[in-house]
Amino acid sequence: MEAGLPANSPRLTRPNSKRPETGIIHLGLGAFYRAHGAVYIEEAMQKSGGDWGIIGVSLMRPDQRDALAPQDFAYTPVELGPEGETARVIGVLNGVLVARENPAAVLDAMSAESVKIVSLTVTEKGYCHEPSSGKLNQSHPDIVHDLANPEKPTSAIGFLVQALEKRRTAGLRPFTVLCCDNLPENGKVVRGVVLEFAGLISAELRDWIAAEGAFPSTMVDRIVPATKPEDITTLTAKTGTYDASPVMHEPFRQWVVEDVFVDGARPDLGAVGVQLVENVTPFEHMKLRCLNGTHSSLAYLGYLAGHETISDTVADPVFATFCKALWNTEITPGLHAPKGVSLADYTSALFARYSNPAIRHRTWQIAMDGSQKLPQRILGTITENLAANRSIKGLALAVAAWMRYVGGVDEKGEAIDVRDPLAARLKTLSDAAASSKEKVTALLSVREIFPATLAENPTFTSALMESYESLATKGARKTIEELQA
């Protein structure tokens, strides 16, 4: 038993011994999917039946497999409400494979006839694409490796294409590829990079996937903060059972899915509240820009100002006013709300979610992988606002805060642990530049993030340079105060 845990606590076990047949493989078995998609799938089977058991795949590390295997892959999602916590046990997982250890086992699982869906939460960077264009990054080391070694892939794209090729060769129908990451039109993006990769291997394979496959776009929403050791200790004390890998989440959840599946094969998602639609774009634009856009803005500025979590950040009235101003003046004016949705009500509900003191969602966690997130969450809005002569000053300040953040030193002169696939390159560019203006210019040269049309826009560059200089000399909180004066 680990130190600090109650003595003699038994290990969590599966709530029932009967397992459904595996119908879904999920690539990227992190906390979010276990607190969101897997819960919906289990509820759908409880409601309407079906064999939709899930095998999770960890693409790199064995941590999840090693934590979950001793408890037969059961785990506990814990809902963190303002008035208390609610725990339940989920038993939808049939196993966890580690791709780096045994890629053949993963390909075999994805190629099984019973598998109808392969879903993914591999984060924006996991698609090995150029965020500014959506195209496959053919020079990405994982893509280079997978093209040379198709039977031993390392990337999610390599696994998808090779598994689809195995199914085609075996005379099986393709699986539906269900992306659950925060990418605009994520199904179209993944379809594009899959077809591009497949075309580099075989035109026949590419054409078969294009004709027979399905890549529905989705929108997912639930705040899932990282699980801390004290969360495990508290849960053990509360339940009397030790779960090595619980997940914490807010009460709210939403899943919008385009109802386009190969042969119509899917769980009864509509029975458990999933919104099945013809076009997910209005929902995802609303969420990516209203939620993810302000989340990232608050993360970089809040971190620089010394706020540990989003709830801490919006408890500061200066940041609360800033967040609401972003919605009202820069984000919602360019959005077309889904039918029946009030953007004012939606953003009001978002602010209440941000303010939930039980959700300790760290600004540092949200700040990860900004080079992959900015184009979808913020830069698209800025581009549209520039074209429509709308304000960009708040969002430009958020981008400038990201530029300060990736420089690797906070307002107290302490090092920032920047987690980003371009971290080393971004820091080198920042360190080599002497002035605020030079730093902004250097970072704007990164074409994977900033397309030339935006990077060379004088209104945008001027706003960035002014914001960066203010952040460097006055700090984040004072800069926001003066922006709102």
1 in any annotated domain: no
Q: Which residue has the tokens 């609610």?
A: 86
Question: Can you give the CATH number for the domain in which 51 is found?
Answer: 3.40.50.720
Confidence label for 268 from pLDDT (cuts 50, 70 and 90): very high
Same domain, 268 and 303: no
Rounded to the nearest 10°, the torsion over CA 289, 290, 296, 298 is: 150
The domain boundary, picked from 226, 245, 277, lies at 277
Of the residues 242, 277, 312, the one at which a domain ends: 277
CATH of the domain at 299: 1.10.1040.10
For residue 369, what pLDDT is reported?
Answer: 96
Are 204 and 225 in a shared domain?
Answer: yes
Q: Residues 361, 301: contact at Cβ < 8 Å?
A: no
Q: Is residue 200 situated within a structural domain?
A: yes
CA-CA distance, 197 to 119, in Å (whole number)? 18
The reported pLDDT for the residue numbered 88 is: 95
Is a pLDDT exceeding 80 seen at residue 306? yes
Number of domains composing the chain? 2
Q: Which domain holds residue 465?
A: 281-484
- HEC profile of 402-437: HHHHHCCECCCCCECCCCCCCHHHHHHHHHHCCCHH
pLDDT higher than threshold 60 for residue 195: yes
What pLDDT, on a 0 to 100 scale, did the predictor assign at position 153? 98
Q: Specify whether 248 is located in the same domain as 311.
A: no
Q: Is residue 15 part of a domain?
A: no
Identify the weakest region by mean pLDDT among 158-162, 264-268, 358-362. Answer: 358-362
Helical axes 423-432 vs 436-444, angle rounded to 10°: 140
pLDDT value, residue 428: 98
Q: What is the CA radius of gyration of the chain?
A: 23
The average pLDDT across 314-323 equals: 98
Distance CA 4, CA 233 (A): 7
For residue 424 the two structure tokens come to: 């080393």
Q: Is 21 left (phi over 0), alpha (psi -120 to 50) or beta?
A: beta
**How high is the mean pLDDT of the chain?**
95
Tell whether 405 is covered by a domain: yes
Give me the phi and psi of 438, to 5 degrees please: -70, -35
Same-domain check for residues 231 and 314? no
Q: How far apart are CA 268 and CA 278, in angstroms?
A: 16
- 458, 395: one domain: yes
Shared domain for 210 and 70, answered yes or no, is yes
Q: Report the pLDDT value the prediction gives residue 284, as an integer from 0 to 100.
A: 92
pLDDT (average), residues 7-33: 90
Instruction: Give the model confidence (pLDDT) of 232-263 as tens digits.
Output: 999 999 999 999 999 999 999 999 999 999 99
- Give the end of a domain, one of 233, 257, 277: 277
Give me the pLDDT at residue 4, please.
Answer: 44
Helix-, strand-, coil-residue percentages of the chain, each rounded to 5: 50, 15, 35
User: For the segment 427-448, what is each residue's pLDDT rounded down to a tens digit?
Assistant: 999 999 999 999 999 999 999 9
C-alpha distance across the termini of the chain, in Å: 56
- Do residues 270 and 312 both lie within one domain? no
pLDDT recorded at residue 205: 98
Q: Does the pLDDT at position 1 exceed 70? A: no
Alpha-carbon torsion (410, 131, 252, 36), positive or negative: negative
Res. 7: pLDDT tops 70 = no
Q: Are 131 and 449 in contact (CB under 8 A)?
A: yes
Q: What is the mean pLDDT of residues 401-426?
A: 96
Q: Helix, strand, or coil here: 55? A: strand
Q: For residue 155, is pLDDT > 50?
A: yes
Answer yes or no: do 168 and 232 share one domain.
yes
The pLDDT of 462-485, averaged and rounded, is: 96
Same domain, 232 and 210: yes
Work out the percent of the chain whose per-residue pLDDT is above 90: 93
State the Cα–Cα distance between residues 472 and 92, nearest whole angstrom.
49
Closest CA to 478 of 308, 295, 315, 322: 322
Tokens of 89: 């046990």
Residue 70 within any structural domain of the chain: yes
Structural domain includes residue 286: yes
Rounded to an integer, the average pLDDT of 195-201 is 97
- Asked if 251 and 287 sit in the same domain, the reply is no
Residue 15 pLDDT greater than 90, yes or no? no
One domain for residues 246 and 333:
no
Has residue 13 been placed in a domain? no
pLDDT at res. 3: 43
| pLDDT grade for 2, boundaries at 50, 70 and 90 | very low
Residue 463 placed within a domain: yes
Calculate mean pLDDT across residues 411-430: 96
Residue 18 confidence (pLDDT): 80
pLDDT tens digits for range 354-408? 999 999 899 999 999 999 999 999 999 999 999 999 999 999 999 999 999 999 9
Residue 5 has pLDDT above 60, yes or no: no
According to DSSP H, which parts of 288-316 are helical?
293-304, 310-315
pTM of the model: 0.89
Three-class SS state of 54: strand
**Mean per-residue pLDDT, 331-348:** 95
pLDDT exceeds 80 at position 6: no
- What's the CA gap between 78 and 34, in Å, rounded? 11
Do 346 and 197 have their domain in common? no
In the predicted structure, residue 8 carries a pLDDT above the cut 60: yes
What does the pLDDT look like over 107-129, one tens digit per residue? Answer: 999 999 999 999 999 999 999 99
The helix/strand/coil state of 220 is strand
**Residue 296, both tokens:** 């990232």
> Which one-letter amino acid corresponds to residue 339?
K
